[in-house]
């Protein structure tokens, strides 16, 4: 597929398969189009008026830019942003927001989903005593895991994460990485990261982007140990970017 922002050609002939129950990492220097591709997957790019997409992106064989319900698509594709963005409401309401939006009203059901999601995001123990407190009052790392919990609460199939740990300290980062490895069992995960170590540690597949093109993609192991393209090698060994 190709993507333009106005006259700017942001993604060139991108052709990539993302497999189920795996972690796929997008790496590449700043401005190469990683976030752009990620946002095309759940159509958050629709918010950018100048954005124009040609080609096809399919989920389970269905064209997501075809005749589908965008909100349902976004429900299936949970997204976690670079900067933690909990809503200015209680921790409980944050996690319950998605399920409520999709029509779940019963208190007991919501309680169950909130607890389960927070547990899955490995933050339950830290916040279970202050669910009614503002989500803005917890630390950045906790906010990010809360955002993951919020995304999990709508029962997505895919998790899209845009540099989820770039604003976090090493300990919170490790917690989130462990979490993603656990979640891989049940979800398909796509993660954008500037941290080569992170990509190497947690991902199964890696795609290397440069100037809006995918230079190389494949098994993370292969890409990191034996890159076939010179530019990939330069990038992951830190010689540019």
Ligand X SMILES: Nc1ncnc2c1ncn2[C@@H]1O[C@H](COP(=O)(O)OP(=O)(O)OP(=O)(O)O)[C@@H](O)[C@H]1O
Where does this chain bind ligand X (CB under 6 A)?
Answer: 5, 8, 10, 28, 30-36, 48, 50
User: Quick one: 2 or 85, whose CB is closer to other proteins?
Assistant: 85
Task: Between 33 and 227, name the residue whose CB sits nearer to Mg ion.
Answer: 33
**DSSP category for residue 90:** B
35 makes contact with Mg ion (CB under 5 A): yes
Distance CA 237, CA 151 (A): 33
31 touches, from other proteins, Mg ion, ligand X, none (C-beta below 5 to 8 Å by class): ligand X
Residue 127 or 215: the one with the smaller Cβ distance to other proteins is 127
Point out the residue whose Cβ comes nearest to Mg ion. 35
CB of 194 to ligand X, least distance (A): 6
Asked if residue 220 binds Mg ion (CB under 5 A), the reply is: no
The answer to the question of residue 64 lying near other proteins (CB under 8 A) is no
Q: Both tokens of residue 236?
A: 């992951």
- Number of separate helices (H) and strands (E) present in the chain: 10, 11
What tokens does 33 get? 């189009």
The Cα 60–Cα 23 span in angstroms is 17
Distance between CA atoms of residues 41 and 161, nearest Å: 11
Which one of other proteins, Mg ion, ligand X, none interacts with residue 85, CB within 5 to 8 A by kind?
other proteins
To Mg ion, the closest distance from the beta carbon of 37 in angstroms equals 10
The encoded tokens of residue 185 equal: 């069992």
Cβ(21)–Cβ(47) under 8 Å? no
Rounded CA-CA distance 34/75 in Å is: 21
Which does residue 30 bind out of Mg ion, other proteins, ligand X, none, counting CB within 5 to 8 angstroms by kind?
ligand X
d(CA 214, CA 15): 8
Structure tokens at 138: 């917890």
Task: For residue 205, state whether it binds other proteins (rule: CB under 8 A).
Answer: no
Which residues pair with residue 27 across a beta bridge? 208
Minimum distance, C-beta of residue 212 to ligand X, in the bound complex (Å): 7
* 36 is a site residue for Mg ion (CB under 5 A): no
What string marks each residue from 26 to 55 as x (binds other proteins by CB under 8 A) or -? ----------------x-x--x--------
């Amino acid at each position: 597929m190709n993507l333009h922002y106005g006259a700017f050609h942001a993604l060139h002939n991108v052709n990539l398969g993302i497999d189920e129950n795996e972690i796929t990492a997008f790496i590449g220097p700043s401005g190469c189009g990683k976030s752009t591709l990620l946002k095309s997957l759940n159509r958050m790019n629709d918010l950018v008026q100048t954005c124009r997409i040609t080609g096809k992106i399919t989920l389970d064989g269905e064209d997501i830019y075809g005749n589908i319900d965008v909100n349902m698509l976004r429900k299936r594709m949970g997204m976690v942003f670079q900067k933690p963005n909990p809503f200015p409401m209680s921790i409980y309401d944050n996690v319950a927001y998605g399920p409520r939006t999709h029509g779940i009203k019963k208190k007991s059901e919501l309680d169950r989903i909130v607890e389960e999601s927070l547990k899955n995001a490995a933050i339950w123990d830290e916040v279970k005593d202050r669910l009614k407190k503002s989500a803005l009052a917890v630390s950045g790392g906790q906010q990010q895991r809360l955002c993951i919990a919020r995304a999990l609460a709508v029962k997505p199939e895919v998790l899209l994460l845009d540099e989820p740990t770039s604003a976090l300290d090493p300990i919170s980062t490790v917690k989130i990485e462990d979490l993603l490895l656990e979640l891989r069992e049940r979800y398909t995960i796509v993660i954008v990261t500037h941290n080569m170590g992170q990509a190497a540690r947690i991902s199964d597949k890696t795609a290397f982007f440069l100037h809006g093109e995918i230079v190389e993609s494949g098994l993370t192991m292969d890409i990191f140990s034996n890159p076939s393209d010179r530019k990939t090698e330069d990038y992951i060994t830190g010689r540019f970017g």
